Homo-oligomer: A and B are copies of this chain.
Amino acid sequence: MKLNPRQQQILLAIIKEYIDTAEPVGSRTIARKYKLGVSPATIRNEMADLEEMGFIEQPHTSAGRVPSERGYRYYVDYLMQRYSLSPEEEDLIRQEYTRKVRDIGLLLQRTGQLLSQLTHCASVVQSPKLEVGSYKHIQLVEMSPGRAMLVIVMDSGMIQHQMIDIPTSITGSDLTTISHVLNAKLGGSTVETIKITLLKEIYLELTRHRQILDMVLEALRSSSASVSEDKIYLGGLFNILSHPEFHNVEKVKTLLSLLEQENLLANLLAQINQPGINVRIGGEMSCREIQDCSIVTATYEIGGQPIGYLGVLGPIRMDYAKVISVVDCMTKNLSYALERLFKGGGR
């Protein structure tokens, strides 16, 4: 379906105007504001064609035109011009990412807040999925009689801990011994490469402590299973309430109840997220609750490895040009910040 240049101009004008005002756009408005050098009547003719091709729609006969999902898709793919962040916006971002970060959670949360603030939409930020990697250090610490903490450090920088019950006969120095053996034998192995022979060796060396070994190995196994924590930070939900399309409380309710079900949301986003910047418009997503929304996501990475995504969720009538720029920019900034945090170098 090819559009001639004038049709493209008119479609672009309708979309820009509608994103701005949230009101159906009439032929006169376009003729007045976007000097195309033709009269409203001509524009009307072209609009009739655009409607026939499915790029715009009419809420009712005597209203102006509104972009259809197909129209937005055409806009995003062919018409849209890159938005350049204003100096103030760039400042805001730079300010955030030159801070010293202590807590990753806080960093992700503030990233989400910034995304929302800049786009006036809701934001989603997935916590990084660190590769599990290989065991770097294993430590058993006696907490109280019959109770120990197992601390596991992986070479990816991931750390996990877990309380386990132990026989009360075990002493602190026993735990140190066990820790030493485990480190010596398992250090450098990945979760998958723990061989039976290796386990046999460990059992041989620690025959006295079979019982506690079983517990520790079980804990190691289960901890590697629970790695995919996959937390999603939501931010700026109240922003979407400002958009007139969400003045209907029922809509807000269905949307909110979806967002609060973290696993559903995670599935949806995982489905959407591909390498690069992803734009999903309304019905392009197969999820009923979110048909009135569009989502823009992108993947952030450490050392070239994708480890998570972030994105923006708003009404279909969102400012795609700006949202895409912001998402792109924030992805790069977050990647860089995480890289510094994990791989070191500079402060």
Instruction: List residues of A whose CB falls within 8 A of some B CB.
Output: 102-103, 105, 136-137, 139, 141, 143-144, 146-147, 149, 151, 153, 155, 157, 159, 161-163, 165, 222, 226, 229, 231, 235-238, 241-242, 246-247, 249, 252-253, 256-257, 260, 341-344, 347
Give the distance in Å from the alpha carbon of A143 to the alpha carbon of B231 in the complex: 25
On chain B, the residues within 8 Å of A137 by CB distance are 139, 141, 151
Q: Tell me if A149 and B157 are in contact (CB < 8 A).
A: yes
On whether A238 and B253 interact (CB within 8 A), knowing A159-B161, A347-B165, the answer reads yes
Q: Tell me if B147 and A343 are in contact (CB < 8 A).
A: yes
Q: Tell me if B235 and A260 are in contact (CB < 8 A).
A: yes
CB of A231, distance to nearest CB on chain B (Å): 8
Give the distance in Å from the alpha carbon of A342 to the alpha carbon of B222 in the complex: 19
Give the distance in Å from the alpha carbon of A153 to the alpha carbon of B141 in the complex: 8
On whether A238 and B257 interact (CB within 8 A), knowing A136-B141, A165-B347, A249-B247, the answer reads yes
Q: Tell me if B151 and A157 are in contact (CB < 8 A).
A: no
Q: Which residue of chain B lies nearest to A102 when distances are taken between CB atoms in the complex? A: B226
Residue pairs across A and B with Cβ atoms less than 8 A apart, 21 shown, are A103-B226, A139-B139, A139-B151, A143-B155, A143-B157, A146-B344, A147-B343, A149-B153, A149-B157, A159-B161, A163-B341, A165-B344, A165-B347, A236-B260, A238-B252, A238-B253, A238-B256, A241-B249, A241-B252, A242-B253, A249-B252
Q: Tell me if A241 and B253 are in contact (CB < 8 A).
A: yes
CB of A263, distance to nearest CB on chain B (Å): 12
Copies of this chain per assembly: 2
CB of A288, distance to nearest CB on chain B (Å): 16
Q: Ordered nearest first, which 8 A-B pairs have the shortest CB separation? A: A238-B256, A147-B344, A238-B257, A137-B141, A241-B253, A159-B161, A247-B249, A141-B153
CB of A45, distance to nearest CB on chain B (Å): 39
CB of A144, distance to nearest CB on chain B (Å): 7
Q: Tell me if B249 and A237 are in contact (CB < 8 A).
A: no
On chain B, the residues within 8 Å of A147 by CB distance are 343-344
Q: Which residue of chain B lies nearest to A253 when distances are taken between CB atoms in the complex? A: B241
Give the distance in Å from the alpha carbon of A229 to the alpha carbon of B139 in the complex: 25
Given contacts A238-B256, A241-B256, 7 further A-B contacts (CB under 8 A): A137-B141, A139-B151, A141-B153, A147-B343, A147-B344, A163-B341, A246-B249
On chain B, the residues within 8 Å of A343 by CB distance are 144, 147
Give the distance in Å from the alpha carbon of A206 to the alpha carbon of B320 in the complex: 58
On chain B, the residues within 8 Å of A235 by CB distance are 260
On chain B, the residues within 8 Å of A222 by CB distance are 102
Q: Which residue of chain B lies nearest to A225 when distances are taken between CB atoms in the complex? A: B102
Give the distance in Å from the alpha carbon of A252 to the alpha carbon of B255 in the complex: 14
Q: Which residue of chain B lies nearest to A340 when distances are taken between CB atoms in the complex? A: B163
Q: Which residue of chain B lies nearest to A342 when distances are taken between CB atoms in the complex? A: B163
On chain B, the residues within 8 Å of A342 by CB distance are 163
Q: Which residue of chain B lies nearest to A346 when distances are taken between CB atoms in the complex? A: B165
On chain B, the residues within 8 Å of A151 by CB distance are 137, 139, 151, 153, 159
